[in-house]
Copies of this chain bind each other. A is one copy, B any other.
Amino acid sequence: MIMDKLIARISELHNPTVVGLDPRLDMVPGFIRNAAFAAHGNTAAGASEAFYRFNIGLIDAVCDIVPAVKPQVSMYEQYGAAGMDAYIRTIAYAKQKSMLVIGDIKRGDIASTAEAYSDGHIGLVDVNGEKAAVYGTDFITVNPYMGRDCVEPYLRNCKAYDKGLFVLVKTSNKGSGDLQDLIIGDTSKTLYETVGGYVSEMGAAFIGESGYSAIGAVVGATYPEQAAKLRAMMPHTFFLVPGYGAQGGKAEDLAACFDKQGVGAIVNSSRGIIAAYKLDAYKDRFGEADFAEAARQAALDMKADLCKHINA
């Protein structure tokens, strides 16, 4: 089962981290950008190729120390068809290098619309009566605002093709409380706890040998109190935790996301790893040409930082 696989790989590498592949052109080293735009002109295809080449370097640099990558589809989608092609090729390359892949797509829609997202990203699509895999991600993120029937269409493919979800529950951003922290009726429960309850319920049929379900939750590193509440109420739900590093989440706060055995969550870092060569902490040691080595060092430093606080 896919969540068992992720947990086993985390344990094998002693590293509960996922590298967010959220490239922006200003993060991509000049020599990669120049080559890509020279080959494709100043076009969306050029930008997409720059992202792909950047990702290849990053994946090569971390695939033996980090269990998973999380490409953020928006960064690719903004460049249209060429961007989606780079997204798909990035997923394929990471899988070839034995990494698990979480597609950060945050889709949320209903009925046949959700089925189309589900078939494309974690299932098979119909091509004139034959079936074809398109994106091939292991996990995707899903937005629950439209209700339980916007999550259910994904469960069928999770079961059929051994895939997993991370449903947005309590996100890491500053405004996440605008809706998610609202108290519901005369209960003392917030909206995010209500959603957490739905996620637990839907995940109950997907619990693997690890004790965790293939249906996980997104829980931000920036809200440790809320994370602790959710950890207690969702013992079988694995957390994808954004917000570490650049967004202000600290390793000591992350312990709340893990269980007593040091299992239960995977922590994302994007900019802090993929653009490490531009950060004060690394830029004296690593130049543009060493962006991949800088990413590897930053990933090792993140692992050490997490392991100090979590029994991973």
Q: Measuring CB to CB, which residues of chain A are less than 8 angstroms from any residue of chain B?
A: 22, 24-25, 33, 37, 42-44, 46-47, 72, 74-75, 77-85, 88, 106-114, 116-117, 119-121, 125-130, 132, 134-135, 143-150, 168, 171, 173-180, 182-186, 191, 194-195, 198
Contact A146 to B176, CB < 8 A, known contacts A85-B80, A128-B47? yes
Contact A75 to B145, CB < 8 A, known contacts A84-B80, A108-B106, A120-B80? no
Chain B residues within 8 Å of A82, by CB: 81
In the complex, what distance in Å separates the CA atom of A129 from the CA atom of B143? 33
What is the oligomeric copy number?
A: 2
- In the complex, the answer to whether A150 meets B127 with C-beta atoms within 8 Å is no
- In the complex, the answer to whether B47 meets A126 with C-beta atoms within 8 Å is yes
Residue among B127, B168, B176, B195 making CB contact with A43, cutoff 8 Å: B127
* A98 nearest CB across to chain B (Å): 23
A-B contacts, 7 of them at CB < 8 A, read A72-B109, A72-B113, A78-B119, A81-B85, A147-B175, A149-B175, A182-B191
Contact A149 to B173, CB < 8 A, known contacts A186-B186, A191-B179? yes
* A203 nearest CB across to chain B (Å): 16
Contact A43 to B132, CB < 8 A, known contacts A84-B80, A108-B143? yes
- In the complex, the answer to whether B81 meets A81 with C-beta atoms within 8 Å is yes
- In the complex, the answer to whether B175 meets A146 with C-beta atoms within 8 Å is yes
Residue among B22, B88, B111, B149 making CB contact with A81, cutoff 8 Å: B88
When A and B form their complex, which 3 residue pairs have the shortest distance between CB atoms, in order from nearest? A147-B175, A78-B120, A149-B175
- In the complex, the answer to whether A46 meets B175 with C-beta atoms within 8 Å is no
Closest to A152 in B: B175
- In the complex, the answer to whether B75 meets A113 with C-beta atoms within 8 Å is yes
Chain B residues within 8 Å of A33, by CB: 128
Chain B residues within 8 Å of A195, by CB: 179
In the complex, what distance in Å separates the CA atom of A125 from the CA atom of B26? 13
Chain B residues within 8 Å of A80, by CB: 84-85, 88, 120, 134-135
* A182 nearest CB across to chain B (Å): 5
Contact A182 to B180, CB < 8 A, known contacts A116-B75, A117-B74, A168-B145? no
In the complex, what distance in Å separates the CA atom of A128 from the CA atom of B112? 38
* A299 nearest CB across to chain B (Å): 21
- In the complex, the answer to whether A145 meets B194 with C-beta atoms within 8 Å is no
* A19 nearest CB across to chain B (Å): 16
Contact A182 to B184, CB < 8 A, known contacts A74-B117, A173-B110? yes
- In the complex, the answer to whether B81 meets A173 with C-beta atoms within 8 Å is no
In the complex, what distance in Å separates the CA atom of A110 from the CA atom of B85? 23
Chain B residues within 8 Å of A46, by CB: 127-128
- In the complex, the answer to whether A74 meets B179 with C-beta atoms within 8 Å is no
Chain B residues within 8 Å of A144, by CB: 145, 179
In the complex, what distance in Å separates the CA atom of A84 from the CA atom of B82? 9
